[in-house]
Amino acid sequence: MNNFIRICLTFLFAGILNLPFVNGQAADTTGPATVNAVLLETSSMSVAGSSTLHDWEVEATDFSVQFQIPVSWFISIEGRAGDDVSELKVTVPVEHLDGGKNKMNRDLRDALSYPDHENIQFIWDEISFTGVTDTGRKAEVSGRLLIAGVERYVTFNADLGLNEWSQIVVSGSVRINMRDYNVEPPKVLFGVIRTDEIVNLSFELFFGRDE
């Protein structure tokens, strides 16, 4: 078969399959392969603050993260870009915030207007990599944080790495002023003990590949 016939047949079959051509070859229009990263049970999230009596910490005993990224992120830290992320959404049910004491949990839920507003949510808007770490990259993350029905735009730093089991590890913290979300810091004993309005939400998230 001469070259002319071969080229004609190639274009014919590509036309039948409706495939575009780049440099004489059928182009790949699917883009980078993406996967839903699976949040692993080793992940943790907590909120810490202080009061006029003592420091306190509340653990999120259950939460979900929707994280869609290129499959290559599970192979190497090289070549990652923030615009590779297709989805990042974090949902923390207020009823699963546990401070270890029933009274504290009730006060917290009241302050967060539960059950009228059942979840705390973060939806990403932009991720940019700003540096390197021993295991990966430093990132700046921006997006919308929804607490007690009030939405605010936040920006925070996070470390994104790859561990020896090819799991993606994301860690960092977000500084939050509760008054920005119309949340009144809880008070007890007629206001003698007052909770500070500034809290820190810390997280360490482990993701496996969705097979």
Q: Name the strand (E) or helix (H) holding 156.
A: strand 150-162
What would the pLDDT profile of 45-89 be if each residue is shown by its tens digit?
Answer: 999 999 877 888 999 999 999 999 999 899 886 767 778 899 999
DSSP 183: P
Domain assignments of the chain as residue spans, ordered by start: 1-30, 31-208
DSSP 61: S
Pairing mode, strands 136-147 and 168-177: unpaired
The model carries a pTM of 0.81
DSSP 20: -
Radius of gyration of the CA atoms of the chain, in A: 24
Is residue 205 exposed (0-12), middle (13-18) or buried (19+ Cβ within 10 Å)? buried
Q: Cα–Cα distance between 98 and 36 in angstroms, integer?
A: 28
Distance, first Cα to last Cα, the chain? 43
| Architecture of the domain spanning 31-208 | Beta Barrel (2.40)
What would the pLDDT profile of 130-152 be if each residue is shown by its tens digit?
Answer: 999 888 899 999 999 999 999 99
